[in-house]
Structure 1
Amino acid sequence: MDNIIELAARVGQALKEKGLLLATAESCTGGGVAQAVTEIAGSSAWFERGFVTYSNAAKTELLDVPAALIERHGAVSEEVAAAMALGALGNSRAQLALSTTGIAGPGGAVPGKPVGTVCFGWARADSARTERLVFAGDRRLVREQTVAHALRGVLLFLEEA
């Protein structure tokens, strides 16, 4: 697995080169992505803000995720991940946002969504992309893999721009 701090530095360099700001909307990672990017000196030049929206109410109140969307698809869904990323864009000055929502474990599994299920969202004004993965390992490993994948996703999303 890529070193998370090295990934964060690469994300920062790519954002700085494009003159873009990043916002994060995190649930299962509890601010882990924001922590990783703020480990990089000078990150205030490219990291705008982070939202830790662990509860469904926080997703609705801070990110404008419709409660009906959460009710229909569940908090751990690509639909909610997309809405979280778009909500982070709409409630910040950032031009690019990422989101994480998942089941880090050891409990919380539901039919069709085992422990380790994580949904990601990446968004900018003109497009959004989502992904659903299932990671192996304990709570710490699931969260670490999620942070690393979210950062790699920013790099891919920037390449597509």
Structure 2
Amino acid sequence: MFAPKFKILFILSFIFGAAYDVCPRELEKITIYVDEHPLLVEIANTPADRARGLMYRKFMGENEGMLFVFAKPEYLSFWMKNTRIPLSIAYFNQDRRITDVHDMKPNQTTELYHSSEKALYALEVNQGWFTKRKIGKYGVLKIPDRVKAVQ
């Protein structure tokens, strides 16, 4: 009796999981600035959106990215599981200043990219975006005050 129910539950979980990969929810897009450089970003401000991130994407525009928003400053670590495009990540503290920038390799499941300080935001862009614009430590993130994490 238990085995058939378990199999059905497993199959349904697989189907809904596959549907999530194919049909993620539409994220809010806004224009932000790092120093004076504009970016059109998707806002990942829920645990599910942050977990999915840019997985499975095949392309991202030159001045596009994803802004990860957290509820409180914490030490953050990102990886590139199922992420096909090379990215750079910047971590921002609660004052919205860059603490770290890392270039990340696609499809890595063993390498983690850590913040050296507690961060409230992480910004993923195409690899080299920060370097091309000479943006480094202490660069300033300019976003609307309404951008907050949702629990």
Compute the TM-score of the two structures, normalised by the length of structure 2: 0.27
Structure having the higher Rg: 2
More helix by share: 1
Compute the TM-score of the two structures, normalised by the length of structure 1: 0.26
More strand by share: 2
